[in-house]
Amino acid sequence: MVKEIEREGLPVVHVATVVPISLTVGANRIVPAIAIPHPLGNPKLDEDDEKNERREIIERALQALTTEVEDQRVFEKLEV
C-alpha cells in the first residue's frame, strides 16, 4: 500500500514494527515501531510517558517526511 500511494507522488512514511517486511514491500521512508499489537503505544508505561513515546515516533516520521531520500532508509533515531 505504501508503494502504491507513493507511486502517485505523495511521500509516505511507513511506521511499522517488522522492518524487514517494510523493506521487502518497498517502503522508502521507514520508522520502526514498538510492537505488533501496539506499534505506537506501550502499555508498560503510564499514560503520559506512553504519549511521549508515541510523540517521539511521530517526530521521527515527520523528520522522515521532510528528508530527501534516494533509496530506502530506516529512521532509527531522531536527528537534531
Partner 1 sequence: MAKIKIVHYLNQFFGQQGGEDKANLPPQKKKGAVGPGTALAGELKDYVDIKATIICGDGFANEKKEQAASQIREYLIELEPDLILAGPAFNAGRYGMACGMVAEIAADLDMPAVVGIYPENPGYEMFSQYGYFIETGDSAASMREALPDIADFIKLYLKREGKPGSPEEANYLPRGIRKNTFADERGAKRAVKMLMAKIKGADYDSEYPMPTFDRVEPAPAIEDLSQAKIALVTSGGIVPNGNPDRIESSSASKYGKYKIADFADLTEDSHETAHGGYDPVFANEDADCVLPVDVLRDLEEEGRIGKLHEYYYSTVGNGTSVANAKVFAREIAQKLLSEGVQAVILTST
Q: Which helix (H) or strand (E) holds 37?
A: none
Please give the Cα distance from 3 to 8 (Å, whole number).
9
**Residue 74 touching partner 1 (CB under 8 A):** no
**Residue 60 touching partner 1 (CB under 8 A):** no
In the chain, the N- to C-terminal Cα span, in Å, equals: 30
Q: Which residue in the set 46, 48, 68, 79 belongs to the binding site for partner 1 (CB under 8 A)?
A: 68
**Residue 44 touching partner 1 (CB under 8 A):** no
- DSSP helix/strand/coil, 52: helix
CB nearer partner 1, residue 70 or residue 79: 70
Whether the CB-CB separation of 13 and 74 falls below 8 Å is answered with: no
Q: Which residues bind partner 1 (CB under 8 A)?
A: 1-18, 20-22, 24-26, 28-29, 33, 35-43, 50-51, 54-55, 57-58, 61-62, 65-71
